[in-house]
């Protein structure tokens, strides 16, 4: 039986330079798709999948993320006094309230593997999820819920994957597939950001992970990989002999909100699903 997953890491230390000047003072994870910040979509997706305890690995200057998950007492009383019940509900009854959200600093931007490693004490010896809020998922049930269902069958490490165009493999962690039923692919190898000619497939990791704690043994070694960074993909590759690794194609859509095009597309797609906006 696969062990239950109740903790999640949100690596949110990136500088968001692709969205300057918007991200000069605003953390990129606070950029709204329609009217909700990216980080809140990720937190809601995690809660739907049964995650109770969350940790955000953040960087100096990104305090707005912490503020967003604190009660806004004055704003609430203001809205209450004015009878603005709908607006009030968005920050109170309908606001995600997991059992806990904590924050820890990644003092050096050494890569995604390093960011995850920064949360090792919080995770301890349990399986855990990692959600990259730049990857916004539009799926019912949510992406992580779909992965949990697969994980209860496969155990081991499970990531969300998507087939990408051959020329885009150098942006992703790519699976070397040994078995594939069209939905679930088992990997025998993993490569971070290979050039198209070196890519073992076009199946790319898209920002959602369910992982076993053994990955920390490899992250502890602080080996650098692609781009001179400590890569999560490399640490996962090192566990392949011992731990099963599956990529799950999600029933739904994924938007790369780390790119301007993906961000604009996400706004249109999410607005189209909203009863108050779809006609317009
Ligand atoms: C990270 C991971 C990569 C993964 C991608 C998904 O890369 O290192 O393996 O495919 O997220 O978005 P980044 O986008 O941080 O460069």
Residue owning the nearest CA to atom 5 of ligand 1 = 172
Say yes or no: CB of residue 229 within 6 Å of ligand 1: no
* Whole-number pLDDT of residue 107: 87
Report the alpha-carbon distance of residue 138 to residue 271 in Å, rounded.
12
Domain that holds residue 121: 7-272
Residue 248 backbone dihedrals phi, psi, to 5 degrees: -110, 125
Mutate to test the pocket of ligand 1, among 13, 19, 163, 171 (most ligand atoms within 8 A of CB): 171
* Whole-number pLDDT of residue 280: 87
Say yes or no: CB of residue 137 within 6 Å of ligand 1: no
Q: Residue 1 above 80 pLDDT?
A: no
Specify if 29 maps to a domain. Answer: yes
Say yes or no: CB of residue 57 within 6 Å of ligand 1: no
Specify if 74 maps to a domain. Answer: yes
Specify if 182 maps to a domain. Answer: yes
pLDDT digits over 143-186, tens only?
999 999 999 999 999 999 999 999 999 999 999 999 999 999 99
On average, the pLDDT of the chain sits at 96
* Whole-number pLDDT of residue 81: 97
Mutate to test the pocket of ligand 1, among 172, 190, 230, 266 (most ligand atoms within 8 A of CB): 172
Question: Which tokens hold the place of 203?
Answer: 């199946």
pLDDT digits over 101-134, tens only?
999 999 899 999 999 999 999 999 999 999 999 9
pLDDT digits over 7-50, tens only?
999 999 998 899 999 999 999 999 999 999 999 999 999 999 99
Specify if 2 maps to a domain. Answer: no
Measure CA 222 to chain center: 22
pLDDT digits over 176-220, tens only?
999 999 999 999 999 999 999 999 999 999 999 999 999 999 999
Q: Residue 68 above 90 pLDDT?
A: yes
* Residue 173 CA, closest ligand 1 atom number: 9
Specify if 1 maps to a domain. Answer: no
Residue owning the nearest CA to atom 15 of ligand 1 = 112
CA of 202 to the centre of ligand 1 (A): 14
Say yes or no: CB of residue 209 within 6 Å of ligand 1: no
Say yes or no: CB of residue 237 within 6 Å of ligand 1: no
* Whole-number pLDDT of residue 170: 97
Contact 129, 50 (CB under 8 A): no
Report the alpha-carbon distance of residue 135 to residue 38 in Å, rounded.
9
**The domain that contains 30 carries what CATH number?**
3.90.550.10
What percent of the chain shows pLDDT beyond 70? 100
Specify if 116 maps to a domain. Answer: yes
- Tally of domains in the chain: 1
* Residue 14 CA, closest ligand 1 atom number: 15
Q: Residue 99 above 90 pLDDT?
A: yes
* Residue 205 CA, closest ligand 1 atom number: 10
Judging by beta carbons within 10 Å of its beta carbon (0-12, 13-18, 19+), is residue 26 exposed, middle or buried?
A: middle
For the whole model, what pTM was predicted?
A: 0.97
Specify if 279 maps to a domain. Answer: no
Specify if 60 maps to a domain. Answer: yes
Q: How far is residue 245 from each of residues 151, 152, 184, 240, 272, measured CA to CA in Å?
A: 10, 13, 10, 7, 35
Mutate to test the pocket of ligand 1, among 38, 109, 112, 230 (most ligand atoms within 8 A of CB): 112
């Amino acid at each position: 039986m696969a062990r239950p997953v109740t903790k999640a890491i949100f690596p949110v230390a990136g500088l968001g330079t692709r969205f300057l000047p918007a991200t000069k003072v605003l953390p990129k994870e606070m950029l709204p798709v329609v009217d909700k910040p990216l980080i809140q979509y990720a937190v809601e997706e995690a809660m739907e999948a049964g995650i109770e305890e969350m940790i955000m690995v953040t960087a100096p200057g990104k305090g707005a993320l912490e503020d967003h998950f604190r009660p806004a007492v004055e704003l609430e009383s203001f809205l209450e006094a004015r009878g603005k019940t709908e607006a009030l509900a968005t920050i109170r009854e309908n606001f995600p309230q997991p059992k806990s959200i904590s924050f820890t600093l990644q003092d050096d931007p050494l890569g995604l593997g390093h960011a995850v490693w920064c949360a090792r004490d919080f995770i301890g010896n349990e399986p855990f999820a990692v959600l990259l809020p730049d990857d916004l998922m539009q799926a019912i049930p949510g992406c992580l819920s779909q992965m949990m269902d697969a994980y209860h069958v496969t155990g081991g490490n499970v990531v969300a994957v998507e087939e990408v165009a051959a020329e885009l493999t150098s942006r992703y962690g790519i699976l070397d597939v040994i078995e594939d039923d069209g939905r679930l692919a088992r990997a025998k190898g993993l490569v971070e950001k290979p050039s198209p000619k070196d890519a073992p497939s076009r199946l790319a990791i898209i920002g959602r992970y369910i992982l076993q704690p053994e990955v920390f043994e490899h992250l502890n070694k602080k080996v650098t990989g692609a781009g001179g960074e400590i890569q999560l993909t490399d640490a996962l590759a090192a566990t392949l002999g011992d731990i099963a690794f599956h990529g799950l194609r999600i029933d739904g859509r994924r938007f790369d909100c780390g790119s301007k095009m993906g961000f604009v597309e996400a706004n249109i797609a999410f607005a189209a699903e909203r009863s108050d906006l779809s006609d317009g």
